[in-house]
A and B are shown apart, each in its own frame.
Chain A
Amino acid sequence: MADQNTSPVRRGILDTLPLALGAIPFGLVVGIAAADSAMPPFVAWLLSPLIFAGAAQLGLLTVAGSATMFAALLTLTVVNARHVMYSAALATEFKRHPRWFRWVGASLIVDQNFALALPHIGAEPVWFRRYWMSASLLMWFNWLVTTGVGEVVGGSIPSSWQIQFAIPILFVGLTISVVKTKPQLVGAMVGGIVGLACAGFPDRLGILIGAVAGVTAAVAFDYWSENAASKTSGAPGTCQESA
């Protein structure tokens, strides 16, 4: 639950800064790919404000000009399919908010702000909206700038710094912060193992496969433990034990 004594804008910006810094090398790479693609440079950059999704942009920039429009759009759909899962996971929270926020806030969903928002689900609605918008707009603005810079000047951060590795480190920490029940723990473990096993799949498809496997395992564990509890007590039980 959010500490509502803290300014949501300040908290959103501070929480997002490390993730935004970690996204800089990826933004530069996408910018370089935009400069090298078959698309006119400015149109290629327009993908950043409109799509705002690194792996999907890379996929589109790679196939643009050499594949049909249908194939390019199919690539985008497959790579961004996990956003449907994020949308489903946030649907209950977003129900509590005004219509404008459901449209505008949802249009800014990316891996990072989804991860940051999960621990704050259920916070006071105005606090949550301000937190979400400040975190999301910082990520969005950071993405516009870094992809633009990458397109103009190319990569300049030494690869030996391995700054991009900040992203998985932060995602590990965020995973820990959202695991609160045993089924969630099972989901995280299976999601991580399958995600690792499928890490070599193209277009980061392994993320989606790992996520689906993790959710399936968590639901199965939930069902199994609920049945086991009801058999033991003779009444319907619950599996919401603390992990």
Chain B
Amino acid sequence: MSVQSALALVAAAGVIAFGLRTSMIIGLANVSLHPRIERGLSYIGPAVLASLAMNFAFGSAGGISVHAPQVLALIAGLGIALWKRNLLLSLAVAMPVLWISSAVLV
């Protein structure tokens, strides 16, 4: 691939990535939304985050990969998040659960 064609691809990709990110923020900047639509937009966050969590936890190239240590670590993280509402504590508990259960179960 030549430098010119690679640069053209990178530049076009940069414009598209920028457009996707700014589209709604700029497009809706001067628009008053119906309260029902505003409420609907508040559902995007939880839905996307839960989907991201499951995808990053169990998605792998070409398939789903579910193993007990990962499941246990996620349950531990979820439990601490529900109980203490503290992200760092959730991580501090869940990662050792992952390492210990990986050492014991795998």
Q: Chain A residues with Cβ under 8 A from B80's Cβ?
A: 173
Within 8 A of A (CB), among B26-84: 26-29, 33, 36, 38-64, 70, 73-74, 77-78, 80-82
Q: Is the CB of A60 within 8 A of B13?
A: yes
A39 vs B60: C-alpha distance when bound (angstroms): 25
Q: Is the CB of B98 within 8 A of A165?
A: yes
A45 vs B44: C-alpha distance when bound (angstroms): 31
Q: Is the CB of B52 within 8 A of A177?
A: no
* B105 contacts A by Cβ under 8 Å: no
A198 vs B28: C-alpha distance when bound (angstroms): 31
Q: Chain B residues with Cβ under 8 A from A171's Cβ?
A: 49-50, 52-53, 56
Q: Is the CB of A184 within 8 A of B42?
A: yes
Secondary structure type dominating chain B contacts: helix
A227 vs B15: C-alpha distance when bound (angstroms): 43
Q: How far is the CB of B75 from chain A (nearest CB, A)?
A: 9
Q: Is the CB of B53 within 8 A of A178?
A: no
A192 vs B23: C-alpha distance when bound (angstroms): 26
* A234 contacts B by Cβ under 8 Å: no
Q: Is the CB of A85 within 8 A of B48?
A: yes
Q: Chain A residues with Cβ under 8 A from B58's Cβ?
A: 196, 199
A66 vs B6: C-alpha distance when bound (angstroms): 12
Given contacts A169-B73, A174-B87, contact A219 B43 (CB under 8 A): yes
Q: Is the CB of B95 within 8 A of A169?
A: yes
Q: How far is the CB of B70 from chain A (nearest CB, A)?
A: 6
Could you give, for residues 4-24 of chain A, a 1 whenever the CB lies within 8 Å of some chain B CB and a 0 otherwise? 000000000001001000000
Within 8 A of B (CB), among A147-180: 160-162, 164-179
* A3 contacts B by Cβ under 8 Å: no
Q: Is the CB of A106 within 8 A of B98?
A: no
**How many contacts between A and B, using CB within 8 angstroms?**
292
Q: How far is the CB of A175 from chain B (nearest CB, A)?
A: 4
Q: Is the CB of A188 within 8 A of B94?
A: no
A165 vs B60: C-alpha distance when bound (angstroms): 12
Q: Is the CB of A76 within 8 A of B25?
A: no
Q: Is the CB of B20 within 8 A of A87?
A: yes
Q: How far is the CB of B36 from chain A (nearest CB, A)?
A: 8
B35 to chain A: closest residue by CB: A238
Q: Is the CB of A188 within 8 A of B25?
A: no
Given contacts A76-B13, A162-B99, A207-B48, contact A84 B54 (CB under 8 A): no
Could you give, for residues 91-127 of chain A, a 1 whenever the CB lies within 8 Å of some chain B CB and a 0 otherwise? 1101100010011001111010011001000000000
B75 to chain A: closest residue by CB: A172
Q: Chain B residues with Cβ under 8 A from A85's Cβ?
A: 44, 48
Given contacts A47-B10, A64-B1, A86-B48, contact A214 B56 (CB under 8 A): no
Q: Point out residues on A near B: beta carbons under 8 Å.
A: 15, 18, 38-40, 43-44, 46-47, 50-53, 56, 60, 64-65, 69, 72-73, 76-77, 80-92, 94-95, 99, 102-103, 106-109, 111, 114-115, 118, 160-162, 164-179, 181, 183-185, 187-196, 198-202, 204, 206-215, 217-219, 222, 240
Instruction: Please list 13 pairs of residues, one from A and one from B, whose beta carbons are closer than 8 Å in the complex, sorted by A's number.
Output: A51-B14, A60-B13, A83-B21, A84-B23, A87-B21, A95-B28, A106-B22, A108-B21, A165-B95, A195-B51, A196-B64, A208-B51, A210-B47
Given contact pairs A69-B8, A73-B16, A106-B26, enumerate 20 new A-B contacts (beta carbons under 8 Å): A43-B3, A69-B9, A84-B20, A88-B44, A89-B45, A106-B22, A114-B45, A118-B49, A183-B39, A183-B43, A184-B46, A191-B46, A191-B50, A195-B54, A195-B55, A198-B55, A206-B59, A211-B48, A218-B43, A222-B40
